[in-house]
Amino acid sequence: MPEKILKIDDLAVEYKNKGKYLRVLQGINLELKKEEILALVGESGSGKSTLGKTILRLLPDSARIKQGKIIFKDQDICSLSEKDFNDQIRGQEMAMVIQNPQNALNPVFKVGTQILDVLYFKSKKQKSRKELKKEAVEILKKVGISDPEYRFGEYPHQFSGGMKQRVMLAMAFISNPSLLIADEPTTALDLTVEAQILNLLSNLVEEYQTSILYISHDLGVVAGLSDRIAVMYAGRIVEVAQTRELFAEPNHPYTEALLNCLPDYQKTEELQTIPGQVPDLNNYPTGCNFHPRCSYSFARCRQEEPRLEEIDSEHFSACFLNDP
Amino acid sequence: MFIYITKRLLWVIPTILTVLLVLFSLSYLLPGDPADIILGPRATPEMAAELESRLGLDKPWYQSYLIYLQNIIKGDLGSSIFKDRSVLKVILNVLPYTVILTLAGMGLAVFNGISIGLLAANYNNSYFEKFLTMISFITASTPTYIAGVLLIVIFSVNFNLLPSIGIGDGGLLETIHHLIGPALALSVGWTGYIARLTRSSMLETLDQEFIQTEKSFGIPRYYILYKYALKKAIKPIITVIGLGIGRLLGGAVFVEVIFNRPGLGRLIVDSVNERDLPMVRGGVLVAALLFIIANLIADISYAYFDPRIRQK
């Protein structure tokens, strides 16, 4: 059994809005094994990005962790001070790649400067930027940037979207993190570039032996990439399973509905949608969060909240249909 | 970069021509007959005719405008009606005092304003930030003349720390000692303004995604704040500094009068009172030039702070 790198235990996160706290994440339990790619999927507003940001402590001031632990390599990282967290975790053990490469790089600094600074602080200011430049150029070459020496002195606006995302990956992997949080890194790219970036990502994962939490709303993308998938709905994880199993035997009605929404170019029937919307943070339904949109719902769904339970080996689901 | 600067420089020409046209038309736009206004009711027709020919009012306006332009290009701003001295010489005599005062005032405003703004952005949503915001509001809404009088009352009259009038005997320490009060008075309004602008621009920048990226890669907070965010946030501040030079030149009038210092502002005000038309024209022209130069420097420094402008 491969060792666990990240374990999230009963995590709840709240946002303060107009003096009231609104829960954004609730009862999150999740494990990530070493060198595993775990995909976190769900609709917009389901809390996927919030979970990623919570792990790296990038939440705005208005958010707080209400309860729960985040255990990274046997250490509860929630109890670290801000300074220790920055010195030990960010850029050392974990890194993040965000959705929109257009905004991910600072427009007024040279790309090279930004890469060097990451390396410089990774080395705890022990090495000079001159020494580090070789390393930086090396990794740019590795992520497929041609003429890296020249590109080093250019500004972000001289790079295309795909190029910027390559630079982001270079900056993320340069610190050789144990865990990479990839928040929809290909959503803003066009399809051919997306394929290239995904390819590059798989190669880098193999080379650096990094675990990835891959946040996406696109089941099609994660199908080919991830080892396991966790499905989120309205701030909760509703199903976790091996990728293959999830596609073959989805258990939760929400997962099933999501899979039905995948377009299939061979069929000519109309696109499927899930009726209704993700519930408003102010106004969660009682019982199971999904019951107003669920075609199988019955009385108990409206009264109790289902818990995530193991229904098969390594397959978890939170639905009363398994326990009528 | 070169093209950008050349373009900015070329734009100066029409700006100056417009300023000159407005200044020239002063003598036509002022109500009444200029010679009458300047000389007063006791003027003889001979005196009036002589003045009119000196001001070029005896020729059609376009001829006289061309002569005016020619003289300006030669560096001749005419001579004062009363003092019988070259306008250029009088202006050059007082100009250094105004330039030093404006630069010192702007320097203080920029340094204090950006410091307060950065602190406020860093400690956003705390009581300290509310305190700083209050200070910004108070300073931003204090007129220069009130600040000047208050400074004299507090530091010159009550504590006897700063001189209240004059410019000193010319020694460096004396000059600086005499500059503190006036420069502070001049800077007060802009300190608050720049502080508020810095705060909002920094908060806006800190909200952007690349700041999160930098944070997620383990770059320390102080480094993000003072290197990455500040350089991105500084653009609107520079614009305001460029425009502010004009406002400060205006404020310098009050300061020069209150602290009894020689200077361009005071010269223009005195000349207006004396209806010394050539002197007013010359003074305003030089003030406009200072303003144009300040904005030119601001525009060119954008290119340093924003690489996207450099390539345009």
Q: Where are the domains of chain B?
A: 96-263
Tell me which H or E stretch contains A65: strand A63-72
Q: In this complex, is the C-beta atom of B228 within 8 Å of any C-beta atom belonging to chain A?
A: yes
Q: Do A108 and B212 touch (CB under 8 A)?
A: no
Q: In this complex, is the C-beta atom of B130 within 8 Å of any C-beta atom belonging to chain A?
A: no
Residue ranges in chain A modelled with pLDDT below 70: 1-2, 267-268, 324
Show which of residues 106-165 on chain A sit within 8 Å of chain B, judged by CB atoms. 106-110, 114, 117-118, 121-122, 155, 157-158
Q: Write the pLDDT tens digit of every residue in B239-254.
A: 888 888 878 888 888 8
Q: Do A95 and B216 touch (CB under 8 A)?
A: yes
**Rounded Cα–Cα distance for residues B2 and A123 (Å):** 39
E strands present in B97-239: none
Q: Do B232 and A118 touch (CB under 8 A)?
A: no
**Tokens linked to B219:** 């770059």
Contact in structure between B239 and B79 (CB atoms under 8 Å): no
Name the closest residue on chain A to residue B234, using Cα atoms. A108
Q: For residue B159, is pLDDT > 90?
A: no
- Name residue A125's amino acid: K
Q: In this complex, is the C-beta atom of A86 within 8 Å of any C-beta atom belonging to chain B?
A: yes
Model pLDDT, residue A2: 60
**Tokens linked to B135:** 């200070």
**Rounded Cα–Cα distance for residues B257 and A211 (Å):** 71
Q: In this complex, is the C-beta atom of B219 within 8 Å of any C-beta atom belonging to chain A?
A: yes
Contact in structure between B280 and B268 (CB atoms under 8 Å): yes
More confident residue, B269 or B40: B269
Q: Write the pLDDT tens digit of every residue in A111-170.
A: 989 999 888 888 877 888 888 888 888 888 888 888 888 988 899 988 888 888 889 888
Angstroms from A140 CA to nearest CA on chain B: 16
Name the closest residue on chain B to residue A173, using Cα atoms. B217
Name the closest residue on chain B to residue A52, using Cα atoms. B216
Average pLDDT over residues B78-103: 84
**Rounded Cα–Cα distance for residues B186 and B36 (Å):** 37
Q: Count other Cβ atoms within 10 Å, centred on residue B59.
A: 13
State whether residue A4 is helix, strand or coil.
strand
**Tokens linked to A104:** 């991910």
Distance linking the first and last C-alpha atoms of chain A: 32
Least CB-CB distance to A91: which of B208, B217, B308? Answer: B217
Cα–Cα distances in angstroms (integers) from residue A47 to residues A28, A198, A221, A302, B266, in the given order:
11, 23, 19, 22, 64
State whether residue B263 is helix, strand or coil.
coil
Contact in structure between A294 and A253 (CB atoms under 8 Å): yes
Cα–Cα distances in angstroms (integers) from residue B150 to residues B102, B145, B181, B187, B253, in the given order:
19, 9, 10, 14, 17
Contact in structure between A236 and A75 (CB atoms under 8 Å): no
- Name residue B101's amino acid: L
Q: Kindly provide the b/e burial profile for residues B218-227, where b requires at least 16 CB atoms within 10 angstroms of the residue's own CB.
A: bbbeeebbeb
Residues of A in contact with B306 (CB under 8 A): 107-108
Q: In this complex, is the C-beta atom of A19 within 8 Å of any C-beta atom belonging to chain B?
A: no
Contact in structure between A28 and A237 (CB atoms under 8 Å): yes
| Beta pairing partners, A95 | A180
Distance linking the first and last C-alpha atoms of chain B: 7
Cα–Cα distances in angstroms (integers) from residue B254 to residues B52, B157, B250, in the given order:
33, 19, 8
**Rounded Cα–Cα distance for residues B159 and B306 (Å):** 46
Q: Do B219 and A91 touch (CB under 8 A)?
A: yes
Residues of B in contact with A159 (CB under 8 A): none
Question: Which letter does DSSP use for residue A283 in this model?
Answer: -
The fold adopted by the segment(s) B96-263 is MetI-like fold (1.10.3720)
> What order do you get walking across the sheet with A20-33 strand by strand?
A20-33, A4-17, A63-72, A75-76
Model pLDDT, residue A1: 46
| Beta pairing partners, B219 | none
Q: In this complex, is the C-beta atom of B312 within 8 Å of any C-beta atom belonging to chain A?
A: no
Interface test with B, best of A61, A111, A117 (most B CBs within 10 A): A117
Show which of residues 254-283 on chain B sit within 8 Å of chain A, judged by CB atoms. none
**Tokens linked to B92:** 């050059």
Q: For residue B312, is pLDDT > 60?
A: no
pLDDT range class, residue B83, cuts 50, 70, 90: low
Angstroms from A88 CA to nearest CA on chain B: 9
Q: For residue B11, is pLDDT > 80?
A: yes
| Beta pairing partners, A316 | A240, A310
Query: How many alpha carbons fall within 13 Å on the CB side of residue B127?
Result: 0
Q: Which of A220, A164, A213 is nearest to A188 (CA)?
A: A164
**Tokens linked to A43:** 């609709």
pLDDT range class, residue B32, cuts 50, 70, 90: low
Residues of B in contact with A109 (CB under 8 A): 228, 231
Counting residues of chain A whose pLDDT is more than 70, the rounded percentage is: 98
Q: Do B210 and A106 touch (CB under 8 A)?
A: yes
Show which of residues 168-227 on chain A sit within 8 Å of chain B, judged by CB atoms. 168, 171-172, 175, 181
**Rounded Cα–Cα distance for residues A276 and A283 (Å):** 14
Model pLDDT, residue A324: 64
